[in-house]
Amino acid sequence: MNYSEGMKHIRSIKIRWISSGLLSSVFLAISFSLLLLSVWNSIVPVSYWFILPISLLISLGLIQIFKVSKIRDADVSRLLDQTYPQLEDSFSLVLKNSEKLNMLEKLQIEKIENEMQSIHTPALIYKRLKISALFLAISILISIFISRLDFGTFNNNSLSIEKESTPLIPDIILPEISSIRLKVVPPTYTNRNARIQQQFSATIEDGAMLEWVIETSRPVSKLYFVFNDKETVKLSSQNKEGTKWTFSKTINKPGFYQVVLDGKLSDLYKLETIKDEPATIRIITPKQYSTIDFGEPKKTNLQVQINDDYGITDSYISATISSGKGESVKFKEQVIRFNESMNGKQGYKLQKTIDLPKLGMVPGDELYFYVNVTDSRKQQSRSDVYIVSIQDTAKLMSMDGMLGGINLVPEYFRSQRQIIIDTEKILKDKNSISEQEFKNRSNNLGIDQKLLRLRYGKFLGEETDEEIGEEHQENSAAEESAAFGNAEKIMDAYAHKHDIAEDATFFEPELKAQLKATLTEMWKSELRLRTYKPEEALPFEYKALRLLKDLQQKSRAYVSKTALKTPTIKAEKRLSAELDKIIQPSAERTILKSEEQNALKKSTSIIAKLKEGKKLNQSEFSILQEANRNLVTKASTQPATYIKALGIMQKILSKSGNGKVSFGELSTLEAALQIMIKNEVKTPQATTAAPKTSLSTEYFNNLKPQQP
């Protein structure tokens, strides 16, 4: 084999090797793209035409990774030497010019010349191609399995297909209709794309536009839609043959409709509407009623979670500041904006730190606020009113309210106030007294706080020092869990014992809880006074005093006034005495007449008769016709509940000879009638007098004046 023949053979194998590598890269790219789109389509509907650009990008990446385009002649000769041992690693000599070969190289070529003539393309270059082809087949099977699990369909349209728009149960259409194309255009507030389905029944957004395109297998002279068994509309023909018809309509309420094709009536098709719900607001912090005590930062951290089914366009805080008291109370309203901007997302977690002094609040003022949210349909929602107050220490230390209201152990109020005064005096004299004297005075105040706490503890039955505040509650919880299943513990819950703090008083639970909270604050104050930290004890002392005074009188409550927006008075109509457009207010109420009620009740017995295989007479047929009219009314407002029952009823009343229904259909119809009877509104009726009231009735009649 000379140089030209060797190079020709090597390049032939090289082309096969490169082609195999390129084809295997394409197979792998298609496999990865198919799996990716199958998973993607199960989450968000997407067209399968995206497989082309995705496969192209992956193929280019795989070609670079596998270095398919960089295969050289030396790589081919090396592969041949590794595949065929009889070449004795000498096939690379063919790549050299015969004039440049030495004597030994020429002898070696002559030795293996016969072997070089018999070699073929190595099977190793096709190994990756076989693996990639197998992987492609497996990917196709997996993709089909995923698509069937997800009820997905292959779509060539540029419009997105939403899975909820296609009913799981296919409609029964007239045989003359060859195809139906229903385009659903959601309203702008939903921010959703248009979608197409091949069904008459649809679940759509409130206010969506529907566009029907119906094609028939034969020419049709007339094609109508009948909505809710009342409104009849004619479809427009798009060709001279009368085989393509269109119609569009905006749907604002649920109902049903039928297709009338040259006098032939179709089944009932339901139109369910998805109502746009107002936004939901959940305020995480603060609590609905919160007080900022002495020593706490005069700020409140507002955290709120808002959600809407389609999107939120605006949100703000409406704040009202209440200041003053009595007749001089003043209210000031203002709007506080959140830092986040609303761009139509369905949910936001907002946070705002409200600096109360920046709003102009001083001790004694109260802040009333609520969160207002506007969704994409301009529906407004608002939260409950939340109250934040700043404790007024000057008012807290005054004697106002001591003489009125609930006089709950007033002899001890002065003691807590005196402890606060003494604590502030210690802090004032701290730099002018010795450290030992400072500690003694602080410890003595702690003793006074303990005595006061024990006095109040008697009101809750806490006669020992151990039964205080949170410590007592935690111990009780631990004992409860440890004594689970103990019969004596269970009996203790129903027995009255005077040495138990919970049973020793007759206070209301709310009052008892506030007294316990007061004792807890006293305990915290005592702890810091005993450890020579009176500056840290002062906030707890103020809070204890506030809780005590709250037990006497209720806190002031604010109710936001309702603004009355009166319509603009037209001067030309004023004092004209035209009252024709003034009508009495009316409230709609669904009350079935007695005849309709009787028809529904009698129809259930007639259905039972049909279950036994008996035939209907004329009077029973009339009763079912009356019940059918009630079903039509119900199906127009609740198609999902009554549309199937209405179809069965019309099948029974049909005179075309197809009035036979199955036992299961009769049971479905009977269940729908029972729901209607159960939900009927009872009308007021005169009660009949019992026999024992006959004497009183006769006496009442005798009181009437005698007729002349």
Q: Over 70: is that where the pLDDT of 105 sits? A: no
Which pLDDT tens digit goes with each residue over 598-629?
777 888 888 888 887 788 788 888 888 888 88
Which amino acid, 395?
K
For residues 176 and 206, membership in a common domain is answered with yes
Angstrom distance (rounded) from CA 453 to CA 537: 14
What band does 655 get if pLDDT is binned at 50, 70 and 90? low
Helix ranges restricted to H, 483-572: 487-492, 509-530, 534-550
What is the DSSP code string of 35-52? HHHHHHHHHS---GGGHH
Q: Which residue has the higher pLDDT, 3 or 359?
A: 359
Which pLDDT tens digit goes with each residue over 56-74?
888 888 877 877 777 776 7
For residues 602 and 518, membership in a common domain is answered with no
Window from 103-107, 195-199, 443-447 with minimum mean pLDDT: 103-107
Residue 94 domain flag: yes
For residues 114 and 128, membership in a common domain is answered with yes
Angstrom distance (rounded) from CA 542 to CA 295: 9
Which amino acid, 549?
K
For residues 444 and 525, membership in a common domain is answered with yes
Give the length of the chain.
Answer: 708
pTM over 0.75? The answer is: no
- Rounded to the nearest 10°, the torsion over CA 511, 513, 514, 515 is 90
Q: Residue 47 corresponds to which tokens in the numbers above? A: 């067209």
For residues 305 and 417, membership in a common domain is answered with no
Is residue 212 within 8 Å of residue 180, measured between CB atoms? yes
- DSSP reduced 3-state for 262: coil
Average pLDDT over residues 325-332: 75
What band does 671 get if pLDDT is binned at 50, 70 and 90? confident
Q: Residue 633 corresponds to which tokens in the numbers above? A: 């009314």
Residue 700 domain flag: no
Q: Residue 173 corresponds to which tokens in the numbers above? A: 């259409």
Q: Which residue has the higher pLDDT, 511 or 635?
A: 635
For residues 409 and 511, membership in a common domain is answered with yes
605 strand-pairing partners = none
Name the residue range of residue 200's domain: 163-274
Is residue 195 within 8 Å of residue 161, measured between CB atoms? yes
For residues 196 and 107, membership in a common domain is answered with no
For residues 451 and 526, membership in a common domain is answered with yes
Q: Which residue has the higher pLDDT, 255 or 394?
A: 255
Instruction: Establish whether the linkage from the previous residue to 286 is cis, with ω within 30° of 0.
Output: yes
Residue 558 domain flag: no
Angstrom distance (rounded) from CA 518 to CA 468: 10
Q: pLDDT value at position 400?
A: 52
Q: Over 70: is that where the pLDDT of 573 sits? A: yes
Angstrom distance (rounded) from CA 708 to CA 701: 16
Residue 572 domain flag: no
Domain count for the chain: 5
CB hemisphere CA count around 523 (13 angstroms):
17
Residue 564 domain flag: no
Q: pLDDT value at position 488?
A: 60
Q: Which of 528, 533, 669 is nearest to 603 (CA)?
A: 669
Q: Which of 247, 274, 301 is the last residue of a domain?
A: 274
For residues 132 and 232, membership in a common domain is answered with no
Residue 495 domain flag: yes
Q: pLDDT value at position 271?
A: 92
For residues 656 and 531, membership in a common domain is answered with no
371 strand-pairing partners = 317
- Rounded to the nearest integer, the mean pLDDT of the chain is 76
Average pLDDT over residues 689-706: 63
Angstrom distance (rounded) from CA 68 to CA 19: 9
Is residue 310 within 8 Å of residue 189, measured between CB atoms? yes
What band does 669 get if pLDDT is binned at 50, 70 and 90? confident
- DSSP reduced 3-state for 313: strand
Which pLDDT tens digit goes with each residue over 389-405?
888 766 666 655 444 44
Which pLDDT tens digit goes with each residue over 482-528?
555 566 655 555 554 545 555 555 566 777 777 888 888 888 888 88
Residue 180 domain flag: yes
Q: pLDDT value at position 658?
A: 45
Q: Which of 342, 367, 391 is the last residue of a domain?
A: 391
Q: pLDDT value at position 185?
A: 93
Greatest CA span in the chain, whole angstroms?
160
Average pLDDT over residues 219-228: 91
Q: Which of 149, 183, 202 is the last residue of a domain?
A: 149
CATH number at residue 357: 2.60.40.10
Q: pLDDT value at position 673?
A: 84
Q: Which residue has the higher pLDDT, 26 or 6?
A: 26
Angstrom distance (rounded) from CA 282 to CA 305: 5
For residues 140 and 10, membership in a common domain is answered with yes
Give the number of other Cβ atoms within 10 Å of residue 402's Cβ: 14
Q: Over 70: is that where the pLDDT of 592 sits? A: no
Q: Over 90: is that where the pLDDT of 645 sits? A: no
For residues 14 and 62, membership in a common domain is answered with yes
Residue 555 domain flag: no
Q: Over 60: is that where the pLDDT of 3 sits? A: no
Which pLDDT tens digit goes with each residue over 110-130?
666 666 666 667 777 778 888
Strand 269-274 vs strand 312-323: parallel, antiparallel, or unpaired? unpaired
